[in-house]
Amino acid sequence: MKNSKRFYLYIFIVSLLYAIQYYINNKITPVGDQTAFLKYAEEFQYNYLYFGIDRYFTWSSRLLIESATLFFLFMKNYLSLYLLWQRLYSYYLAKSSQRNFHGFQGS
């Protein structure tokens, strides 16, 4: 059991270091549509509803796609944080239910 925890800790640390190195070396920056939508967001003061209404009256063929692009361009960090929280919480619940189950077996 102790070796298993040590192995997973080692894998986590190596993965984290690799991710940081990859991020630094590739200089991940917004490209393509992302740069245009960053300007749109500033132009509309990050008001997604007003952006959607304006796009509908001026260029409606891609309204849903462009609105989603603008929204997720700024909300991706919150979404990632939420998904990480969900994963950790489900892991915690699984571990606590295992402990309770094994406790009942021993009685």
State pLDDT tens for residues 24-52: 777 666 567 777 777 888 888 878 778 87
Rounded CA separation 19/28 (Å)? 12
pLDDT score at 107: 45
Tens-place pLDDT, residues 49-87:
788 788 778 876 777 777 777 777 777 667 777 887 888
Based on the number of CB atoms within 10 Å of its own CB, is 51 exposed (0-12), middle (13-18) or buried (19 or more)?
Answer: buried
pTM over cut 0.75? no
